[in-house]
Amino acid sequence: MVFVVLVLVKYFNFTLILTLATVISLLVVVINRLFFAAKRQAAVKAYKESVTEPDEQLVKELSQGPAVFEFIRSLFPVLLIVFVLRSFLVEPFQIPSGSMKPTLLVGDFILVNKFAYGIRLPVINKVIIPINKPQRGDVAVFHYPPNPEIDYIKRVIGIPGDHIRYTEDKRLYVNGQLVGETSVGKDTVVEQMQVYNQLLQRVETRKESVDYQLYKEQLGDVEHSIYKMPSRHNVSPKPMQEWVVPEGYYFMMGDNRDNSKDSRFWIEDFVDQNTPQQEINRIVNDDKMYMVPAENIVGKAFLVWMHWPDRKLENIPSFSNDRLIK
């Protein structure tokens, strides 16, 4: 049994495992009610009628099913509550990288509003009841387009119909309008930096002490902090860093603008050294390849509830910096 669980965890996502566990426990409850409960009740009744003073312990044993049935049946209410909460209301995530610094830090544990953009069917993530659509400035969790088994978190920069331009001097334009930003200071932090070769393929990741310029950016109605690295040049697989967001797609960027794999860069994961040059050219020039499809979006991040960067028993998680995400 333990081996089966480990295999499921390794090769399937948690949502699928939770869904299967809930369905199986429900089937056990239904089968028990339809086929076994009446027989046990009849056995208890017959026993009570056959003796003057029934043994309460024996009555209890007769009224219960096999131990494994009782265990699964007792789990069903818990599984159902967790399933409903996690599938339709709120889902927890942990921040694994610094791509959303300074807004989110490595080791932040966050909550994601699953119904902010509509009620979705578990596993297939299909919207069945639309509510709202992602807006510029939202911090959203989504399935990574090159590999939907991985969840990413970035800020929504472009919505359907938007024209996005990111210039050589790292200025962001949305529909021809410069997105306002104000320099507010500097930070020096140790980062996991991605190193690329001349073909913009990641060749290594290493720790470096990095000097950042801290800005306040005004994206629509949302003011938030971003990092830029003065020492790093702006590079992109696309020669002209301009995109038009197609209907049903969204353009995402990390707040750590010079250390984030986002809509500007992840097309590198759609190709490898065996990809024909003609196919590479097609991918590079197809704006959809830079976007997140609406069906990949999981929900809107809204709260940091715990910080635990190094999950070891000797390290105590911190709750002192709980905050709303904006």
Q: Which residues are catalytic?
A: 99, 154
> Does a cis peptide bond (omega within 30 degrees of 0) precede residue 102?
yes
Residue corresponding to tokens 């959809």: 288
Sequence letter at residue 269: D
How many other C-beta atoms can be found within 10 angstroms of the C-beta atom of residue 44? 17
Given a contact cutoff of 8 angstroms between Cβ atoms, the answer to whether 41 and 26 are in contact is no
Under 8 Å CB-to-CB from 93, ≥6 apart: which residues? 109, 110, 111, 112, 141, 151, 153, 301
Strand, coil or helix: 102:
coil
Q: Report the distance separating Cα 298 and Cα 87, nearest Å.
A: 10
Q: From CA 125, how far away is CA 152, in angstroms rounded?
A: 15
User: What number of other Cβ atoms are within 10 A of residue 264's Cβ?
Assistant: 23
